[in-house]
Structure 1
Amino acid sequence: MTTPTLRIDIISDIVCPWCVIGLLQLLQALEARGTQAALQWHPFELNPAMPPEGQNLREHIAEKYGSSAADSQAARQRLTAIGAELGFVFAFSDDSRMVNTFLAHQLLDWAGEQGSQLPLKLALFRAYFSQGRDVSDPQVLLEVAAEAGLDPEAARQALVSGDHIQPVRMKEDYWRQQGIQSVPAMVFQGKYLVSGAQGVDGYGNILDQLAQMES
C-alpha cells in the first residue's frame, strides 16, 4: 500500500525572507518524518507597484513599515542567524534593493509546467538574498533558470511570449480573494491554512496532526 502524497500549496514572494525560512523549515520537517509532499507554488507580490529600478531595501522598509535603522539592522541580524541555522546565507548589504517580482513569478508559473518549481524557487531565493542579484532583470532570470537545470532558451520564450501574464494575475487575485494578505501562507491538503514561518518543530507538529486526521 502506497502512502498518499501530502499536497501543500505555498503562496509566497521571491523577495520575502520569511518565505525562505518557512520553506526550509518545512523541508526539514518533511525530511525528518519521511513525508512525501507535492509542493505547488502560487504568486504573491509584496510590492506590485515597485518600479523597474527598484528601491534601496533599507529605505523601502523604513517607508513601508516605519522601521528605524536600528530596527532594520536588528531584523537583518535575526534573519541572518536563523538562515545560518538552516544552511542559508542572507547577505544583506547597504546596497541591497527591493525589486519588482512579477516577471519572476511568470517564470515560476512556466516552471510549474516543467515540474521544476522547487529548484527554481530555491535558485531565485539564493540569487536574490545570497548573491544580491536583480531578479527583476530578464537576463538574470534566464541565468537563474539555467542554474536550476531549466532550458534558458525555453525560459526566454516563456517570458517573451507573455503567456504567463494572465495566469499569474488570476492566481494572485484568487489568493487575495481567499483572504491571503501576508506571506508565507501554506494550505495543507487544500483545507488547512497556516500563515507565517512556523519553525521546524512547528511544521513537524502540523504534519503529525495531519497524519492523524488523514489516517
Structure 2
Amino acid sequence: MEQSEDRTATVEFVLDVICAASYIAYVRLERAIERVRADGGKVEVVFRPFQLAPDAAFDGEPLLEVLTGMFGKHVVAETQQAAADAVKDGVTLDYGRAVAADTFEAHRLIQSAASRGLGEAAVERLFRAHFTDGLNIADPATLQRLAAEIGVDANDAPADRLRADLARVRAGGIRSVPQISFDGGRALAGTQSETTYAKALQTAAA
C-alpha cells in the first residue's frame, strides 16, 4: 500500500508493564511497525498508562505466590502455558523468577522517556526487566539503572500528571489491557496477531 511521505500514523497503546498479554502485543506490534518504517513510513507510538492492581502494595514478593493467592493454584499451569506460547514470539516469561511490583513509578519512567523520544525503548526494557530478568520495577534504584540503560537522565515526569492520565484511561471505560488504536480509530482489545497489527498500520499510514 502506498504511503504518503508526510503522513505519520499514530498508534495509541494502553498497557501495564506487568501484563504478559501487553508484552506479547507490544512485541508483535513493534515488528509490524519496523516493517512500515523500513518501507519509509512514519509511525508514532503514544503509550497510555493502566494499572492492573492500582491498590496493591506489592514490594517484591515472588509473582507466582501472589498470583496463586489471588486466583488459586490453577494459575501455575496457566502461567506455564503462557510462557511456552510466548517462546514462539521470542519472549521469555520467567514466572518463577519474576516479582510482583506496583507499576506507578515504571509508568513515570515511560512518560519521562517518551518526552525524550525514548518511549518505545523504555517499554521494551521494563517488560523484559519484569518478565525475563526478575527485577523489581517498583524499586527506585532499579528504575534508575534501567533509565540509564536507555539513555534517560531522570525519572522526572510529574506524578500528578500520571495520576490524571490513569484516571482518564479508567474514566474512558478501559478495564483491561492491552488496547491499541490506530489514528484514533476503533481499539483492538487483547493480543492480536502481527498480521492484524500490520494491516491496521498500513491503513493508518496510507
CA distance in 1, matches of 2:112, 2:77: 40
Shift of 1:77: 2.4
Q: Offset at 1:30?
A: 2.2
Partner of 1:106: 108
Q: CA deviation at 1:109?
A: 1.7
Q: Is 2:32 aligned against 1:43?
A: no
CA 1:70–1:52 in structure 2 vs 1: closer, same or farther (change >3 Å)? closer
For residue 166 of structure 1, the aligned residue among 143, 160, 166 is 160
Aligned mates of 1:75, 1:67 — CA distance in 2: 15
Decide which moves more: 97-106 or 59-68.
Answer: 59-68
Aligned-residue CA RMSD in angstroms? 2.0
Task: Calculate the TM-score normalised by the size of structure 1.
Answer: 0.83
Note if contact 2:49-2:165 (Cα within 8 Å) is conserved in structure 1: yes
**Match for 1:113: what amino acid?**
S
Q: C-alpha separation between the residues in 1 aligned to 2:79 and 2:132?
A: 18
Given the two structures, how large is their TM-score scaled by the length of structure 2? 0.86
Pairwise CA distance, 1:107? 1.7
Q: Percent identity, aligned pairs only?
A: 27
* 1:63-87 deviation per Cα after TM superposition (whole angstroms, max 9, x unaligned): 44445133332233223x2342xxx
What is the match of residue 140 of structure 1?
A: 142
Detail structure 1 runs of 4+ shifted over 4 Å in the superposition. none
1:59-116 Cα deviation digits (max 9, x unpaired): 332344445133332233223x2342xxx332331x4222101111112122222121
Opposite residue 93 of structure 2, the aligned amino acid is F
Gaps of 5+ in 1: none
Q: CA deviation at 1:54?
A: 4.1
Q: Is the alpha carbon distance of 1:27 and 1:70 closer, same or farther for their aligned partners in structure 2, counting shifts above 3 Å? A: closer
